[in-house]
């Protein structure tokens, strides 16, 4: 029995071998080599065999010598496709016959486009690593987030930021973050852009943004001077391909705006350019509650450009520039009665006043950025900025209503250098260091028509005369910082450092500021952060003036006080504590508390007819608050909500006192008062729903009202504004891809005041926008 079993097994084995040999004779094979243009072998290249229908029937990789071999291919005609990282793909057609090895070799060309994309991403990652966030609070906006807002990329930048926690709206497009007056720092691709003079013309177009982060709280030593918030913008580029868009947007208030952008790359060179031109009849907030403002036409235009050239895989040079030119009519309030007499006349229709203001803001940056591919990253940037504002009065009406008609010209140029570096000492320690230098030159050239007046301000003559008031000043800022990001454990990171700041402007001062921030991942879903920062905030040099106020004594422009102590830098201690919690995979919530104690707290007010702000100090100040934020995202539904509580107070005005009424000044010097931009409750929320190619979206802002009345003892009523939008994404055979949107601003038509004309340093009343309808079309190519 055993012998018969062995014979049966041997017979079966002989039959299998014979069958396999016959099958092999009926099949063919493919073999060959893959090399680059210089003939060098390419290893690990993918070689794929496809049949006539395009289906892959086999696949292999090349060895270290660039060879490949695919056996057992049935006779027939096949396509062979070869791909390798960093190379353009190759393909050919091969025919196999039974028992024959068919040879197909490939020479792949280097893919410059792919290399450029890889190098660009590497350099982007290195540049972003120069900007730490440890210990601070961060709110992020992606390009998709902005596109989903009702107005999309036509949303002004300040209104995008209003959708972040703790950001309050004010007149002339101003923003107040965590109880500070302005004090925002703008960075584009890591480079600080000096701020312009005027506050109600937006200097940066939202459409240039690829991603924007708002950093608040106790900032790392990297950030100085403007510290209420850092608006970190990462611009669009042409690194990923060629394209662009054209946008037309218009609607209520005779609004018409056209915009376009174009981007692309050619080898190591890439570019992105954008521009827009627009007109409307609501350039500045309406000083009345009417649906349409009187004398409020505006023309606005801007352009931005970014170009970069990758010198080698580890080094890139870039150039970016921007320009904004805006012209505004100052809106009128009808029914006002003149308070002065001119050439025997004291009548004038206030609705016919013709005040205007123009703004120009230009900037340019050249940056050299690089990495050694491992431990060291750096960026060195040279920047320049020129900003100019001119206010043109109504030469008759302003004299009759105000007793002063002042043509104000202010300009400021800034030039400087910023250098930042990162050195990864080891897996636990990352050292960052940098320096900053800026020179500014401000020019003030005012021509002021006034009447003679007695000591009490009573008009003595109805014949005006002109006083020329001109001055100029050069100022300097210096800073340096060093910090260590220490990963104590896989869950605990400590960032500590020192920053030195010095100013030599109308006053000279300096400060050494410690910073420390801590992030602790308590659980995979729970993250705690805490921080302390010592801040040094110089006053806005472009807003200060060397004017001699005594030259207006005995005129209708005489100041209520002769005291004019110089404006000092603010020095403060800042504490921040927060927690972020993920609730499942769809919901993230956060809670943040902060406290700031200041000496020479900085504030700004509008004390003249021109829409230009003047800085001043409170000797003592404190600001504290609490913020809650929540975000939801699941499939085609997204929503967010932010709620903030804030208190901001100051005591004893100790600079620029001539701007204040003596009674108000005396009260402030003996009482804690709320700052004019203090708002107890600020909220924003919004959401979007995608239904096929259609997106339904809305956003909203709410506030308990800014301060008003004598010494800011009152506040304006609670307000809310809800905006609605519908966006449809088309893809037509002849027209290609384009988007159409329809939106409604203030859908409930709630009438609310941002300002009522009273309060410390507050100018004319301003109302929020009334019900308005807009539509837009964006064509992509």
Confidence of residue 201 (pLDDT cuts 50, 70, 90): low
Place of tokens 């636990």: 428
Q: What is the pLDDT of residue 769?
A: 94
**Region 121-780: CATH code:** 2.40.170.20
The H helix count followed by the E strand count for the chain is: 6, 42
285/752 Cα distance (integer angstroms)? 11
Whether the predicted pLDDT of 694 surpasses 50? yes
Whether the predicted pLDDT of 6 surpasses 50? no
Q: Which of 249, 256, 162, 286 minimizes the C-alpha distance to 770? A: 286
Q: What is the pLDDT of residue 130?
A: 65
User: Please, where are the H alpha helices in 491-537?
Assistant: none
601/604 Cα distance (integer angstroms)? 10
pLDDT in tens, 147-195: 999 999 999 999 999 999 999 999 888 899 999 988 899 999 999 988 7
Whether the predicted pLDDT of 246 surpasses 60? yes
532/519 Cα distance (integer angstroms)? 12
Q: Which of 272, 312, 263 minimizes the C-alpha distance to 120? A: 312
Residue-averaged pLDDT of the chain: 89
> Which is higher by pLDDT, 704 or 130?
704
Question: Who contacts 337 (Cβ-Cβ below 8 Å, separation ≥6)?
Answer: none
Question: Domain segments of the chain: what residues?
Answer: 2-110, 121-780
Whether the predicted pLDDT of 126 surpasses 70? no
2-110 has which fold?
Immunoglobulin-like (2.60.40)
User: Please, where are the H alpha helices in 426-509?
Assistant: none
Whether the predicted pLDDT of 750 surpasses 70? yes
Cα–Cα separations (whole angstroms), residue 257 to 125, 158, 263, 515: 35, 18, 21, 44
Tokens representing 588 are 């993230």
Mean pLDDT of 575-599: 94
Q: What is the pTM of this model?
A: 0.83
Q: How are the residues of the chain apportioned to helix, strand and coil, as percentages rounded to the nearest 5? A: 10, 55, 35
Reported in sequence order, the residue ranges of 505-636 that DSSP labels E, i.e. its strands, are 508-523, 526-537, 570-583, 587-605, 614-634
Determine how many CB atoms are found less than 10 A away from the CB of residue 11. Answer: 10
DSSP letters, 332-386, are B-TT----S-BTTB----GGG---EEEEEEEEEEEEEEEE-SSSEEEEEEEEEEE
pLDDT in tens, 673-690: 999 999 999 999 999 999
pLDDT in tens, 407-418: 999 999 999 999
Determine how many CB atoms are found less than 10 A away from the CB of residue 121. Answer: 12
């Amino acid at each position: 029995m055993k012998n018969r079993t062995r014979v049966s097994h041997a017979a079966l084995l002989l039959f299998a071998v014979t069958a396999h040999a016959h099958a092999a004779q009926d099949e063919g094979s493919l073999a060959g080599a893959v090399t680059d243009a210089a003939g060098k072998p390419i290893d690990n290249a993918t070689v794929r065999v496809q049949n006539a229908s395009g289906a892959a029937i086999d696949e292999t990789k090349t060895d270290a010598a660039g060879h490949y071999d695919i056996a057992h291919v049935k006779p027939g005609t096949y396509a062979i496709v070869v791909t390798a990282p960093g190379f353009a793909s190759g393909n050919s057609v091969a025919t196999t016959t039974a028992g024959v090895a068919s040879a197909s070799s490939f020479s792949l060309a280097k893919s410059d486009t792919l290399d450029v994309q890889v190098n660009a991403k590497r350099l982007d990652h290195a540049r972003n690593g120069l900007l730490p966030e440890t210990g601070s609070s961060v709110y992020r906006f992606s390009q998709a987030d902005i596109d989903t807002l009702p107005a999309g990329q036509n949303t002004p930048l300040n209104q995008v930021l209003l959708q972040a926690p703790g950001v309050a709206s004010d007149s002339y497009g101003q923003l107040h973050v965590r109880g500070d007056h302005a004090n925002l720092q703008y960075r584009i691709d890591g480079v600080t852009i000096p701020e312009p003079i005027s506050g109600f013309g937006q200097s940066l177009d939202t459409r240039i943004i690829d991603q924007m982060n708002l950093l608040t709280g106790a900032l790392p030593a990297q950030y100085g001077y403007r510290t209420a918030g850092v608006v970190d913008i990462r611009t669009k580029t042409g690194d990923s391909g060629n394209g662009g868009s054209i946008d037309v947007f218009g609607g209520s208030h005779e609004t018409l705006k056209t915009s376009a952008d174009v981007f692309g790359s050619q080898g190591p060179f890439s570019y992105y350019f954008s521009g827009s031109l627009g007109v409307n009849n609501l350039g500045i907030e309406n000083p009345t509650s009417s649906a349409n403002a009187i004398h409020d036409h505006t023309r606005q235009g801007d352009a931005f450009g970014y170009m970069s050239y990758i010198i080698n895989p580890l080094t890139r040079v870039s150039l970016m520039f921007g320009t904004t030119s805006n012209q505004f009519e100052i809106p009128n309030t009808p029914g006002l009665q003149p308070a002065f007499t001119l050439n025997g006349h004291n009548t004038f229709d206030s609705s016919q006043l013709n005040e205007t203001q123009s703004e120009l803001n230009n900037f340019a940056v050249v940056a050299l950025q690089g990495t050694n591919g491992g431990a060291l990253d750096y960026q060195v940037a040279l920047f320049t900025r020129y900003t100019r504002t001119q206010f043109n009065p109504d030469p008759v009406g302003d004299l009759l209503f105000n007793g002063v008609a002042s043509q104000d010209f202010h300009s400021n140029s800034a030039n400087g250098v910023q250098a930042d570096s990162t050195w990864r000492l080891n897996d636990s320690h990352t050292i960052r260091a940098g320096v900053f230098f800026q020179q500014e030159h401000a020019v003030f050239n005012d021509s002021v028509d006034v009447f003679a007046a007695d000591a009490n301000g009573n008009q003595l003559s109805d014949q005006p005369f002109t006083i020329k008031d001109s001055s100029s000043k050069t100022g300097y800022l210096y800073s340096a910082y060093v910090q260590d990001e220490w990963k104590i454990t896989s869950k605990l990171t400590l960032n500590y450092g020192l920053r030195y700041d010095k100013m030599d402007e109308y006053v000279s001062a300096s400060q050494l500021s410690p910073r420390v921030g801590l992030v602790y991942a308590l659980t995979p879903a729970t993250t705690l952060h805490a921080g302390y920062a010592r801040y040094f905030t110089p006053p806005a040099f472009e807003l200060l003036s060397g004017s001699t106020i005594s030259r207006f004594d005995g005129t209708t422009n005489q100041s209520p006080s002769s005291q004019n102590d110089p404006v000092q830098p603010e020095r403060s201690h800042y504490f921040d504590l927060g927690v972020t919690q993920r609730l499942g995979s769809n919901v993230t919530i956060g809670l943040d508390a902060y406290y700031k104690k200041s000496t020479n707290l900085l504030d700004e007010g509008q004390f003249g007819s021109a829409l230009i702000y003047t800085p001043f100090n409170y000797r003592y100040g404190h600001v504290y608050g609490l913020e809650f934020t929540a975000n939801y995202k699941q499939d085609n539904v997204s929503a967010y909500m932010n709620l903030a509580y804030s208190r901001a107070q100051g005591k004893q005005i100790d600079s620029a006192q001539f701007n204040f009424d003596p009674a108000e000044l005396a009260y402030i010097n003996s009482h804690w008062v709320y700052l004019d931009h203090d708002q107890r409750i600020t909220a924003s929320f919004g959401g979007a729903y995608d239904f096929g190619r259609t997106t339904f979206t809305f956003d909203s802002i709410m506030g308990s009202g800014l301060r008003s009345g004598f010494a800011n003892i009152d506040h304006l009523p609670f307000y809310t504004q809800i905006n609605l939008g519908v966006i449809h994404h088309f893809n037509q055979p002849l027209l290609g891809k384009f988007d159409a949107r329809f939106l409604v601003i203030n859908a409930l038509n709630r009438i609310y005041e941002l300002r009522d004309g009273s309060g410390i340093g507050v100018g004319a009343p301003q109302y929020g926008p009334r019900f308005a309808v807009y539509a837009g079309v964006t064509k992509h190519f």
